[in-house]
Structure 1
Amino acid sequence: MPLQDLPCLNLQGSTLSQTKRINKRRSRGCVGEALDTECTPTELIHQWSPSLKHQRLTSKGKENDCNQFVLARRSRRKKESTAADISWDDLPDELLLRILSCLPLQDLLRMSLVCKRWHCLAFDESLWHSVDLEQLTHMGPALQQVLKTGVRRLRCPRSFVEELHFTITGQLQIVQLDLSSSIIPTSALESIICHCRLLEYLSLEGLQLSDMIINSLSKNPNLLQLNLSGCSGFSAPALADMLQSCSRIEQLNISWCDFKNNHVKSVVDNVSSSVTHLNLSGYRESLTLDDVKVLVSRCPHIQTLDLSDSTLLMADSFSVLKQLKCLLHLSLSRCYHIHLAALTDMGKMFPVLSQLDVFGLVHDSHLPSLKKEIPHVCINSRPFSSIARPTPASRLVGPFNSRTMWNTKCQLRFKL
């Protein structure tokens, strides 16, 4: 609407009022026309606006190119980021891995379902260094997935493993492996052991083996502790080759295997001279005095020796065993041809002996008198052998907090 038509303006007033208005306008530095001329609101605003506002309006851009009046909003200042504004996506992988390392196994698997990044982090090799899968049913798929993570310490005793379709072509990173008393097909066990070259501690107690498994063990020169107690299914030549190749074995438990005489000969003729703990119990009619002589000459540094249930041994074997200057623990349980009277002389023949197990030879009523004869020896203190066993039998009773593997707990543990 033209200004002349505005009701609030009296354009027909006196000349004095018009002169005051014009002088007032000029005093403000506006060079304009008289009020009786038509002008649009946009022109008036340009005339009356300060120069700073005029520059800001004209610098807005395309909106003001056509002399159109546009209201512009100032851009808000960005708030400074605080700790509360940081999301999980902003954290580096190293910090997330440190957080994930504190989670139990089940929660870690749930975290792997969040997104692709967390899935990669959840299966990072650093988190799967040591895994305990005891009490897990249907072990096959879980075992196959765990082996792909580059696990180095794996504990899954007394487990049931179905047929394992192992697809990894490279070698595994396993250093310590416990499959004691498990139910696992021989073919599945072959597919695991054949990919191992870094084994140092291994327990296959009670499993059905094969010559392929024994030959694969010979490719692990760093093997230190080997538990094959109660195993079967392999030949004496394969056993001899394995013992010759694994020359660093310190603890060997090869008791109660399905052995014949040639198997026992393979052990005593090829066992490494570095062995300090040896369990050869359970060979009633196979282990002879001549075998003990060969064993003592080959392994002079034996500290713990278990010859229990060797019914062919008699008291004349003491004169051979006393050549073991470092012998601390001797087990002769159920060696029924050794009489009580011969045991009383062991204190003189074995001056450094500290433990003696003679279960089945000495009646409980005769133990006090025997202890008086050899007071420095602890008698019948360990009914179960702990040689090369990942978890000694004395630790199996009690809470699951005692579940260790070679004196070390696993980082990830399956819990029901």
Structure 2
Amino acid sequence: MSIERPLKELPCLSENLEGSLCRPQRTKCKRKPSCGGRLHTENTPNELIQQWSPQHKKPLTSAKGKENQENVFVLARRPRKRKETTASMCWDSLPDELLLGIMSRLSLKDLLRTSRVCKRWHRLALDESLWHSVDLVGRALLDAELGQVLSAGVLRLRCPHTCIGQPSFKNIEQLRVQHMDLSGCTVEPSVLEDILSRCRHLQNLSLEGLVLSDNIIHNLAQNPELVRLNLCGSSGFSPEPLAEMLKLCTRLEEMNVSWCDFKGLHVQAIANNIPSSVTQLNISGYRQNLTMEEVKAIVERCPDLTNLDLSDSVLLTTDIFPVLQQLSSLKHLALCRCYQIHPASLVDFEKFPNLLTLEVFGLIQDSYLPVLSKSLPHIQISTLPFSTIARPSSSMRKDATLWGLHCRLVYKQ
């Protein structure tokens, strides 16, 4: 006699479904009416049972469920996501503009270090936009470094009192430099000539105390935008190229030619060719070579002079006062050690209503200074012992500047 087994005691129907998770299903079994009563027998084939049973839906996987902690699909995607996140922050994926913005905030030392990372960073680190202004004060010797800095497209260069060797420019015909201070450098005239022969855009230049040549002065004449020129204490060039340079540099406003190795012909070349645009002139230190006639010629050619230094010219007398009175814009005048001018005649400067400072070191004693100051209350007397005309940095300033312009990349030992 056969024993009837209810359907609920049969094995789980989903054991043979590959890839499914056995979950209790709350579905009602619908039997086909054509099967009759054979479903209640124990001899019912398992294949028919699986065919007549309702299909079980594949359960959805959830990334937050505990059942997916060992899911291969989820584990396989996690490292790929981490890789994509890392790639988005890679330095190589940053555009050049962004890297240049980052490098523009680096110091000179750090910028040179970044140039050694790779070829791309080397190219970006030498981009001309990063080398607008460089201060190499404190560097005792400049050789190939100077050529690299100038070739990088520097606009402002400050390296006074430096020993300059033989820079290499890698076939660069023209440099972009506009403001350059080479005061007191130890450099051969041929090397300086090579540098200046590549300059066409100079606006401010200081060659104080250097030995120059006629070719160097000829090269300076190729810079029509020159505004300030400091040749204080220089030597080694003739009057002819000096006169040619003054004729071509028509925008010159400040010029310092004091204490140069000049003869009478040099002073005459300046007096007869100085451009009318000059407003500040230092032509001191010529004792017997600067005469009254040269001063008259300078005043006629430069009627807008505001700052004039005629110190150490022993041929000047009080007869120069009416000539200087023609300069209606004159504010600063220096007559230090002009021994032909009597101290008592200095009270005549009350006729100069626009004059602000008067330097007369060596002409009057300290005891007479209060009396003169009382006679000229609107003028400051003997307050600046050193002239600042066309000099890149004033001795009165504590910060290192280049004609009032700051340099971003600074060499630090």
TM-score range with shorter-chain normalisation?
0.7 to 0.9
**Helix, strand or coil for the counterpart of 1:76?**
helix
CA offset digits 1:11-41 (Å, max 9, x no partner)? xxxxx9xx846523321029xxxxxxxxxxx
State how far apart, in whole Å, the 1-side matches of 2:226 and 2:44 are. Answer: 108
The 1:86/1:324 distance shift into structure 2, 3 A limit, reads: same
**Helix, strand or coil for the counterpart of 1:305?**
strand
**Helix, strand or coil for the counterpart of 2:333?**
strand
Aligned amino acid, residue 411 of structure 2: F
**Which residue matches 1:76?**
77
**Identical-pair percentage:** 51
Normalized against structure 1, the TM-score is what?
0.82
Give the C-alpha shift of residue 167 in structure 1: 3.7
**Which residue matches 2:89?**
86
* Aligned-residue CA RMSD (Å): 2.4
- Tell me, yes or no, if structure 1 residue 406 matches structure 2 residue 403: yes
State how far apart, in whole Å, the 2-side matches of 1:224 and 1:25 are. Answer: 104
**Do the aligned partners of 1:303 and 1:326 also contact (CA within 8 Å) in 2?**
yes
CA offset digits 1:332-386 (Å, max 9, x no partner)? 00101111111011112x1110000000001111100000110100011111111
Aligned amino acid, residue 393 of structure 1: S
- Tell me, yes or no, if structure 1 residue 222 matches structure 2 residue 225: yes
| The one of 220, 237, 249 aligned to 2:240 | 237
**Do the aligned partners of 2:148 and 2:168 also contact (CA within 8 Å) in 1?**
no
State how far apart, in whole Å, the 2-side matches of 1:291 and 1:389 are. Answer: 24
**Do the aligned partners of 1:166 and 1:191 also contact (CA within 8 Å) in 2?**
no
Give the C-alpha shift of residue 274 in structure 1: 0.7
Give the C-alpha shift of residue 212 in structure 1: 0.6
**Which residue matches 1:23?**
45
State how far apart, in whole Å, the 1-side matches of 2:180 and 2:361 are. Answer: 31
Aligned amino acid, residue 307 of structure 1: L
Aligned amino acid, residue 29 of structure 1: Q
Aligned amino acid, residue 225 of structure 2: N
**Helix, strand or coil for the counterpart of 1:145?**
helix
Aligned amino acid, residue 357 of structure 1: E
**Which residue matches 1:269?**
272
- Tell me, yes or no, if structure 1 residue 289 matches structure 2 residue 295: no
State how far apart, in whole Å, the 2-side matches of 1:413 and 1:186 are. Answer: 27
**Do the aligned partners of 2:358 and 2:381 also contact (CA within 8 Å) in 1?**
yes
Pairs within 5 Å for 1:327-406:
327-348=330-351, 350-395=352-397, 398=398, 402-406=399-403
Pairs within 5 Å for 1:5-404:
20=42, 23-29=45-51, 76=77, 78-79=80-81, 86-348=89-351, 350-395=352-397, 398=398, 402-404=399-401
**Do the aligned partners of 2:151 and 2:172 also contact (CA within 8 Å) in 1?**
no
Aligned amino acid, residue 184 of structure 1: V
Give the C-alpha shift of residue 169 in structure 1: 3.4
Bigger shift: residues 75-84 or 262-271: 75-84
Structure 2 unaligned blocks of 5 or more: 1-37, 60-70
**Helix, strand or coil for the counterpart of 2:45?**
helix
State how far apart, in whole Å, the 1-side matches of 2:400 and 2:168 are. Answer: 29
CA offset digits 1:179-207 (Å, max 9, x no partner)? 01111111111111000000111111111
Give the C-alpha shift of residue 164 in structure 1: 3.1
**Helix, strand or coil for the counterpart of 1:344?**
helix
**Which residue matches 1:7?**
none
CA offset digits 1:264-308 (Å, max 9, x no partner)? 000000000010000000001100001111111111000000000
Aligned amino acid, residue 412 of structure 2: K
Aligned amino acid, residue 401 of structure 2: T
**Do the aligned partners of 2:208 and 2:231 also contact (CA within 8 Å) in 1?**
yes
Structure 1 unaligned blocks of 5 or more: 1-15, 31-48, 54-70
Give the C-alpha shift of residue 168 in structure 1: 3.0
**Helix, strand or coil for the counterpart of 2:166?**
coil
State how far apart, in whole Å, the 1-side matches of 2:42 and 2:313 are. Answer: 134
The 1:76/1:84 distance shift into structure 2, 3 A limit, reads: closer
Runs of 4+ in 1 over 6 A off after TM superposition: 49-53
Aligned amino acid, residue 49 of structure 2: S
**Do the aligned partners of 1:163 and 1:185 also contact (CA within 8 Å) in 2?**
no
**Helix, strand or coil for the counterpart of 2:367?**
helix
Give the C-alpha shift of residue 137 in structure 1: 2.3
**Which residue matches 2:9?**
none
State how far apart, in whole Å, the 2-side matches of 1:22 and 1:186 are. Answer: 115
Give the C-alpha shift of residue 79 in structure 1: 2.6
The 1:297/1:21 distance shift into structure 2, 3 A limit, reads: farther
State how far apart, in whole Å, the 2-side matches of 1:22 and 1:244 are. Answer: 121
State how far apart, in whole Å, the 1-side matches of 2:186 and 2:263 are. Answer: 24
Normalized against structure 2, the TM-score is what?
0.82
